[in-house]
Amino acid sequence: MSEAEVLYSDVKFTRERGNTGTASSPAETTYSEVRISKTQPSTGLTADSQQQLVSNGRSKFPSETVALGVVSVLLAAAVIALGLISHKNMELSQRLTEHDAVAKNLTEQYSKVKSCNMVQPMCPNPPDVKMNEPKCEEGWELHGGKCYNFSIDSLPWYLSRKQCIDQHGDLVKIDSREEQTFLELKVREKMNEDEDKFWIGLTDSETEDTWLWADGSPLDTSLTFWFSGEPDNWTGRDSNGEDCVRMGEKGGTPDLKCWFDKSCKEHHRHICEKEAAAARLKCV
Ligand SMILES: [Ca+2]
Ligand SMILES: [Ca+2]
């Protein structure tokens, strides 16, 4: 039998007749036996023939096999692509690590290059040092934007002036009472004895009693600090008189008046003066 037939039941339907006046009411009528046939799909092959096809390696659904093959190929391709991407990422990560190492090395080397004694535009805003802050070289003292050097050795006035010029300055010119006060106190500190005085840049060597500063400017007669009785152009030790000025009174003097005219040939210490450097910075 090619079809599977299933007999589920005998089915009876009951029809209730109306009151027709017949004597046979109620009555039951059997209309039919109902048989429902469930037909199973048939491959048209016997079990043996199906088994034979499988054993021959042939699928009964060749299109599904092809689809599976395609999916497998696509999966393999995806796996390979992921592997390549992962490899590229590893290479990129390694290069970034190498780049970071180089940058760190350069930073360390740059941080070591920091010593400079002169003004250098490369100094990136050095801390603790104000731009244009006046500075003096070693051995010079800063005051009022000027640098002063009080010599140790004693020389004639002209050699003293030469020494100042050789150091890019000149013998001191006193422009104010405040400057005189500063110098008078300083030389008092430095004087070892009463005659241990200091040359300043004032002379009347060109014209007697016409006092000029070393830079050629005339002496302001309202701003002088002559010791009592000076200048006297005394000729007791030098027949040429006294044409150069020294200052200093170890024991102090009234109203800062400590200037004396002396022979320019005398040996004394001296005071050099020059402008303070605008900005001699140190990179830190
Ligand atoms: Ca004189
Ligand atoms: Ca004198």
Q: What is the pLDDT at residue 44?
A: 45
Distance (Å) from CA 204 to ligand 1 centroid: 5
Q: Contact 160/151 with Cβ under 8 angstroms? A: yes
- Kindly report the number of other CB atoms within 10 A of residue 198's CB atom: 24
Query: How far is the centre of ligand 2, averaged over its atoms, from the C-alpha of 246 (Å)?
Result: 9
232 alpha carbon to ligand 2 midpoint, in Å? 5
Model pLDDT for residues 240-263, shown as the tens digit of each residue? 999 999 999 999 999 999 999 999
For the residues 217-223, what does the mean pLDDT come to? 98
How many angstroms is it from 205 CA to the middle of ligand 1? 6
Residue 270 to residue 161: CA distance in whole angstroms: 8
Average pLDDT, the chain: 78
Query: How many angstroms is it from 193 CA to the middle of ligand 1?
Result: 25
Asked whether 200 and 174 are in contact (CB, 8 A), the reply is yes
176-186 pLDDT, tens digit per residue, is 999 999 999 99
The domain defined by 141-275 folds into Mannose-Binding Protein A; Chain A (3.10.100)
Lowest mean pLDDT among 51-60, 99-108, 214-223, 254-263: 51-60
Cis-peptide into 26, omega within 30 deg: yes
Does residue 234 register a pLDDT over 70?
yes
Question: Burial of 129 by CB count in 10 Å (0-12 exposed, 13-18 middle, 19+ buried)?
Answer: middle
- Rounded distance from Cα 128 to ligand 2 centre (Å): 48
Number of Cα atoms under 13 Å in the Cβ half of residue 105: 6
Please tell me the distance from the alpha carbon of residue 204 to that of residue 234, in angstroms, as a whole number: 13
Rounded Cα–Cα distance for residues 207 and 12 (Å): 163
Is 152 within 8 Å of 267 (Cβ atoms)? Answer: no
* Closest listed ligand to the CA of 266: 2
How many A from CA of 243 to the centre of ligand 2?
8
pLDDT tops 90 at residue 48: no
Give the count of alpha carbons within 13 A of 278, CB side only.
4
What residues does each domain of the chain span?
A: 141-275
Say how many Å lie between the CA of residue 62 and the centre of ligand 2: 133
CA 277 to ligand 1 center in whole angstroms: 35
- pLDDT-derived band at 12, boundaries 50, 70, 90: low
Q: Give tens-digit pLDDT for 128-138.
A: 556 678 899 99
d(CA 53, CA 64) in angstroms, rounded, equals 16
Q: Which of 181, 172, 164, 221 is nearest to 201 (CA)?
A: 172
Of the ligands numbered here, which is closest to the C-alpha atom of 260?
A: 2
3-state SS, 126-150, equals CCCCCCCCCECCCCCEEECCEEEEE
Hey, what are 196's tokens?
């241990």
CA of 208 to the centre of ligand 1 (A): 5
Query: Given pLDDT bands bounded at 50, 70 and 90, which one contains residue 142?
Result: very high
pLDDT band of residue 267 (cuts 50, 70, 90) is very high
- What is the structure's pLDDT at 156? 98
The alpha carbon of 98 and the centre of ligand 1 are apart by a number of angstroms equal to 80
Ligand with an atom nearest the CA of residue 231: 2
Q: How confident is the model at residue 68 (pLDDT cuts 50, 70, 90)?
A: confident
For residue 241, report the distance from its CA to the centre of ligand 1, in Å.
6
Measured over the CA atoms of residue 232, residue 268, residue 244 and residue 147, the dihedral's sign is negative
Which one of the ligands is nearest to 264 CA?
1
